[in-house]
Amino acid sequence: MARTLIRRLIYGLIAVLGVAVLSFLAEFVVPGDPARAIAPRATSAAVLENIRIQLHLNRPLIVQFGDYFTALFHGNLGTSYVQRQSVLSLIAPRLAATGWLALAGVVAEVLLGASLGLLATLYPRVRAAVSALNLTLLAVPQFVVGLILLLIFGFQLHMAPVTGGAGPAEIVLPALTLGLAGAPWYAQIVADQLSDSLSSAYVRTAVAKGLTDRHILRHHVLRNVLSPALTMIGMDLGSYLSGVVTVEVVFGWPGIGLLAVESLQNLDRPVVMGTVIVGAVAVVFFNLVADLLRMYVDPRTRQEQA
Amino acid sequence: MTASPNASSSSAPQVAVAEGPVLEVDDLRVRYGGLLAVDGASLQVPRGQAVALIGETSSGKSSLALGVARLLTPSASVTGRVSIDGCDATALTGREFRTRRAGLLGYIAQDAMAALNPVQPVGRQIGELFRVHRGMSRRQASEQAVRELARVRIDHPEIVARRYPHQLSGGMRQRVMIAMAVALSPPLLIADESTTALDVSTQADILALLGVLKAETGAGILWITHDMGVVAEFADWVAVMYAGRIVEQGPVRAIFDQPGHPYTDGLLRTRRDLRTGQPGAPLFQVAGAPPALTSAPRTGCAFAPRCPRASARCTEQAPPLAVTAPGCLVACHHPVGPAGQPAAGLAGGDEEERS
């Protein structure tokens, strides 16, 4: 167990580092001059040059690379070009906002998806309707779902705020959008696992033991269904935390995805880097947590101790 | 005895307690949608004895066993009377049967790996029976589970109880299945090809264990198999199924010495060739393939198209099970005669046809 954990942590670190290096280089491929983005429109060449010197943009790429990663290994994500604040202090509140949204989104998609999957398995009559709904939800892009929800519940029914922000009232629609977009996957996995499990030999054994349907569902079926869903929950939490860009833009949710978009537009390289690295860490972390949970739930995925 | 109620009981071995059979199946029919898998089978399992139910794939033997145990999917329909240990199981409601079933019959599945819950330690799966049906606490149940594991001759039962199915060997898993089946000491055990997936020496161990348990508890065993070797070693009685019907039944010795039905005769000839035949010599085979399931009961004998002894009568009129020898029932218009001389003729013709 401990060895698996250490190995996975090392792999994760390599992955995060790889992502950081690639996105650092990618930023230099993006056309545009950060100095111009920062400076007012009509600025003299001398002032621009001055800004470049201040931001060390005049140095060779390799030196900037070295500087950035030396600072990164000291836990320093740098300072925003635009806001003159440390990247960490910019990201922290945004990460919290996105965290809440990711959590609410995962809860919504799991609840919706599991209900749909249960319905489709236990009531064959609604199976066709459920798969049609699944297909529709899969086919419609996330931002369209978001806009439709916003139009109906925000502008028409005035049940939800339309102005953006990060509060309990504002979270409902973006979370629902994530939930609707993610639900078909969970519906499918729950329906598949459930029907596999219900027709399995171990459920027959449980019936032969004279257990009630309810007992069998709770003690023999549920855990076998849960295990693959856990992996997906982990992946979703990670990827949502790394920025649900479209949803945050549509609803004006001040999360890390919105921050990434803003800072990309401003060519605010340190902030872009910060959001990318934090996102990569989130993905790695939640995948690891999901795998650990899965090992707990399903003993077959544990490695045999020598 | 395996014979239906009208059969003579004089040949039943004296081991049987005179309390009546532990299982009486009367005119059982199992349908899957329109298909008739079991077509009016009657069968008895005496106390403390093993009845082997043999037949090819899709002959209906598993459907019969699962029908008796009420383990078929809800889409299957079962009619007929099943009486377990004097209790008319078919008269019980689903709920009544559920509360009593683990005390009435134990079911030992073919593939223990699939039949055990992969995410629960085996001790808990055994203990569950005592928690649910005997109202034991978690602790009492887990102690009882360890005793049950010891009962099926598992070494270090307290360690094994904490293991998950995938951490055990095939033989151990089958022992765990058996421990679950016998936990509440049911009078009837149903073993559905329970040794088919095991290697030969493990198979022998499991058979020996079941023999011991049978003697200890006096349970009757209904053993579904297509392995004639297992039948010869383990069973007291044999019932042969073909296309959903029981075509022959009787004591193992009598049937192995003198099969009455041409189908049984063919099966036994194949086995004899396998054991004593020269390497490379042609193996006796029953010609043709078993018939597909039909929706309506057949007219005539289902084996007739493959039977070298068939006559016009066989395709028109279904032969009833009739007593041929003490304790032996055969459903055939032209049963194989004594001393195998008709069988020799039939085999010769058949081999020529095939070569």
Q: Encode pLDDT of A205-215 as tens digits.
A: 999 999 998 99
Contacts of residue B169 in chain A, CB cutoff 8 Å?
Answer: none
Contacts of residue B180 in chain A, CB cutoff 8 Å?
Answer: 205, 209
Cβ atoms B142, B161 nearer than 8 A = yes
Nearest to B82 by CA among B99, B98, B69: B69
Token representation of residue B328: 């032996």
Contacts of residue A301 in chain B, CB cutoff 8 Å?
Answer: none
More reliable by pLDDT, B292 or B104: B104
Q: Under DSSP, is residue A281 helix (H, G, I), strand (E, B) or coil?
A: helix
| Across B101-123, average pLDDT | 92
More reliable by pLDDT, A102 or B278: A102
**Which of B119, B125, B133, B166 is best to mutate for the A interface (most A CBs within 10 A)?**
B119
- Supply the pLDDT for residue B349: 37
Q: Which of A207, A227, A299 sits opposite B71 (nearest CB)?
A: A207
Within a domain: residue B129?
yes
- Supply the pLDDT for residue A303: 62
| Across A235-259, average pLDDT | 88
Domain boundaries, position B128: 120-163
Interface of A with B in 244-303 (CB under 8 A): 297-300
Q: Which of B101, B109, B120 sits opposite A210 (nearest CB)?
A: B101
For A99-108, A237-246, B119-128, B270-279, which range has the lowest pLDDT when averaged over its residues?
Answer: B270-279
| Across B254-280, average pLDDT | 84
Give CA–CA dist B112/B105, Å, rounded: 17
CATH topology of domain A101-254+261-266+279-301: MetI-like fold (1.10.3720)
User: Between the CA of residue B18 and those of B1, B14, B21, B22, B238, what are the distances in Å?
Assistant: 11, 9, 8, 11, 20
Within a domain: residue B184?
no
For A176-190, B28-42, B151-165, which range has the lowest pLDDT when averaged over its residues?
Answer: B28-42
Q: How confident is the model at residue B64 (pLDDT cuts 50, 70, 90)?
A: very high
Within a domain: residue B238?
no
| Across B264-291, average pLDDT | 79
Give CA–CA dist A87/A94, Å, rounded: 11
| Across B238-245, average pLDDT | 91
More reliable by pLDDT, A276 or A164: A276
- Supply the pLDDT for residue B270: 82
| Across A153-169, average pLDDT | 80
Residue B339 has pLDDT above 60, yes or no: no
pLDDT digits (tens, 9 = 90+) for A133-150: 999 999 998 889 989 998
Tell me: ipTM over 0.85: no
Give CA–CA dist B39/B86, Å, rounded: 23
- Phi and psi for B105 in degrees, rounded to 5? -145, 145
The radius of gyration of chain B's CA atoms, rounded to the nearest angstrom, is 21
Sequence-ordered list of residues with C-beta below 8 angstroms from that of A232, at least 6 positions apart, any chain: A185, A186, A189
More reliable by pLDDT, A163 or A234: A234
Positive or negative: CA dihedral A276, A256, A237, A105 = negative
- Supply the pLDDT for residue B338: 64
Residue A263 has pLDDT above 50, yes or no: yes
Residue A6 buriedness (CB in 10 A; 0-12 / 13-18 / 19+): exposed
Complete edge-to-edge strand list for the sheet that includes strand B322-325: B105-108, B188-192, B220-225, B50-54, B237-242, B245-251, B328-330, B322-325
Q: Under DSSP, is residue B330 helix (H, G, I), strand (E, B) or coil?
A: strand
Give CA–CA dist A194/A233, Å, rounded: 17
Token representation of residue A289: 């947590």
Q: Which of B109, B119, B128 sits opposite A299 (nearest CB)?
A: B119
Q: Which amino acid is at B287?
A: A
Give CA–CA dist B125/B175, Å, rounded: 13
Give CA–CA dist A242/A105, Å, rounded: 13
Q: In sequence order, what E strands does B121-205 have? A: 188-192
Token representation of residue A116: 């749909």
Sequence-ordered list of residues with C-beta below 8 angstroms from that of B287, at least 6 positions apart, any chain: B306, B308, B350, B353, B354
The radius of gyration of chain A's CA atoms, rounded to the nearest angstrom, is 24
Residue A108 has pLDDT above 70, yes or no: yes
Interface of B with A in 128-147 (CB under 8 A): 128-129, 132-133
Average pLDDT of every residue of chain A: 88
Give yes or no for B89 touching A (CB within 8 A): no
Give yes or no for A211 touching B (CB within 8 A): yes
Q: Under DSSP, is residue A117 helix (H, G, I), strand (E, B) or coil?
A: helix
| Across A247-270, average pLDDT | 89
What DSSP string describes B113-144? HHHS-TTS-HHHHHHHHHHHHH---HHHHHHH
Nearest to B23 by CA among B59, B54, B48: B48
| Across A191-211, average pLDDT | 92
Q: Which amino acid is at B170?
A: G
Task: Answer whether B109 sits within 8 Å of A220, measured CB to CB.
Answer: no
Nearest to B115 by CA among B63, B193, B60, B188: B193
- Supply the pLDDT for residue A2: 80
Residue B180 has pLDDT above 80, yes or no: yes
Within a domain: residue B45?
no
Q: How confident is the model at residue A168 (pLDDT cuts 50, 70, 90)?
A: confident
- Determine if residue B87 is left, alpha or beta; phi over 0 gives left, psi from -120 to 50 gives alpha, anything else beta: beta
Give CA–CA dist B237/B239, Å, rounded: 7
Within a domain: residue B346?
yes
Sequence-ordered list of residues with C-beta below 8 angstroms from that of B273, at least 6 positions apart, any chain: B281, B283, B284
Task: Point out the domain boundary residue: B163, B191, B214.
Answer: B163
Task: Answer whether A298 sits within 8 Å of B119, measured CB to CB.
Answer: yes
Task: Answer whether A212 sits within 8 Å of B98, measured CB to CB.
Answer: yes
Residue A18 has pLDDT above 60, yes or no: yes
Give CA–CA dist B160/B150, Å, rounded: 10
For A110-124, A290-304, B251-265, which range has the lowest pLDDT when averaged over its residues?
Answer: A290-304
**Which residue carries 């502008």 as its tokens?**
A155
Give CA–CA dist B127/B107, Å, rounded: 16
| Across A32-51, average pLDDT | 79
| Across B313-324, average pLDDT | 87
User: Between the CA of residue B28 and those of A150, A258, B86, B155, B321, what are the distances in Å?
Assistant: 62, 69, 17, 41, 15
Task: Answer whether A209 sits within 8 Å of B129, measured CB to CB.
Answer: yes
Residue B240 has pLDDT above 90, yes or no: yes
